[in-house]
């Protein structure tokens, strides 16, 4: 699945579960993109792997197969937050969730949508 196609599904993913406050796209050094649901208590729930270089065939490369897309290989990440009223978070709450999910060292890699 293409990244663009997948991003169009994000609102539905956010709607289907109460605990999910965002969807995280983790861009890995191998070219794969690990997509995780982000829970309100700061857990990254592995959801799907996208690999723009190997569409459809093998969604995961050998590196990812080996380490399941380790956070240490994340070169950049993007969060799409839920905009549902019941899940609205302020900047501080978001930061607390991200600190838990990524740890302080990784925060600078992020781009936050919405
Ligand atoms: Zn990979």
Asked whether 45 and 68 are in contact (CB, 8 A), the reply is no
Tokens standing for 27? 């861009």
Give the tens place of pLDDT for each residue, 6-17.
899 999 999 988
Per the structure, the count of domains in the chain is 1
| Sequence-ordered list of residues with C-beta below 8 angstroms from that of 39, at least 6 positions apart, any chain | 19, 20, 21, 45
Give the tens place of pLDDT for each residue, 81-91.
998 888 889 98
* Residue 45 CA, ligand 1 centroid: distance in Å: 17
| Domain boundaries, position 20 | 3-113
CA distances from 113 to 2, 21, 53, 83 (A): 19, 13, 24, 11
* Residue 32 CA, ligand 1 centroid: distance in Å: 4
* Residue 36 CA, ligand 1 centroid: distance in Å: 15
* Residue 28 CA, ligand 1 centroid: distance in Å: 7
Give the tens place of pLDDT for each residue, 24-70.
999 999 989 999 999 999 999 988 888 766 555 566 788 998 999 99
* Cα–Cα distance, 52 to 112 (Å, whole number): 21
* Cα–Cα distance, 36 to 79 (Å, whole number): 10
Which protein residues have their CB within 5 A of the ion that is ligand 1? 30, 32, 61, 63-64
């Amino acid at each position: 699945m293409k990244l663009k196609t997948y991003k169009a599904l994000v609102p539905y993913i956010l709607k289907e579960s109460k605990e999910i406050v965002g969807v995280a796209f983790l861009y890995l050094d191998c070219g794969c993109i690990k997509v995780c649901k982000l829970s309100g208590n700061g857990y990254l729930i592995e959801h799907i792997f996208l690999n723009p270089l190997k569409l459809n065939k093998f969604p995961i490369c050998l590196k990812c197969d080996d380490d399941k897309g380790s956070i240490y290989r994340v070169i950049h990440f993007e969060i799409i937050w839920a905009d549902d009223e019941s899940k609205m978070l302020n900047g501080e709450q978001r930061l607390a969730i991200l600190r838990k999910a990524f740890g302080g060292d990784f925060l600078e890699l992020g781009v936050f949508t919405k």
